[in-house]
Amino acid sequence: MAKSKPKRKADSKRKNYTIMFLAVLLAIFLIFGFFLGKNIKENRKNQNPENSQENMSFYDEERCRCVERERLRCNDGFELDAGNRLCRNGTDITNVILACSKYECAGNIYVFNFENKTWEMAETKTGEG
């Protein structure tokens, strides 16, 4: 009988070490997954055509002015809920920002196309009279 008690103690100790090892391994995977998910989200955000500087290559602060604000935007870290006209970040909620949807640049009009999320030059009509 005396020999069976130390064996039970050793089995219990091994079981505890196995549980601790699995808990540490799970924590490492969770931390790795968090950082991987955060990087993927940042990459998607940087690839979003709405935020790309290429699409606004026409814009020059000296020559352009905003003539219409209809484009819904959110601050960094928030995602747009267009149906409710809100910006969400988990449980945090804030108002949308009305960004410029139409610029006039040196006589040319550039309009934001909401369907394909790109800027397009609008056809301008010159007034003759």
pLDDT tens sequence for the chain (129 residues): 445 556 677 778 888 889 999 999 999 988 888 877 777 766 655 544 444 444 677 788 788 899 999 889 998 899 998 888 899 998 999 999 999 999 998 888 999 888 888 888 887 655 544
Q: Are 71 and 112 in contact (CB under 8 A)?
A: yes
Claim: this prediction has a pTM higher than 0.85: no
Q: Delimit the domains of the chain by residue range.
A: 1-47, 58-122
Say if residue 55 is exposed, middle or buried (CB neighbours under 10 Å; 0-12, 13-18, 19+): middle
Could you say which DSSP state residue 59 is in?
-
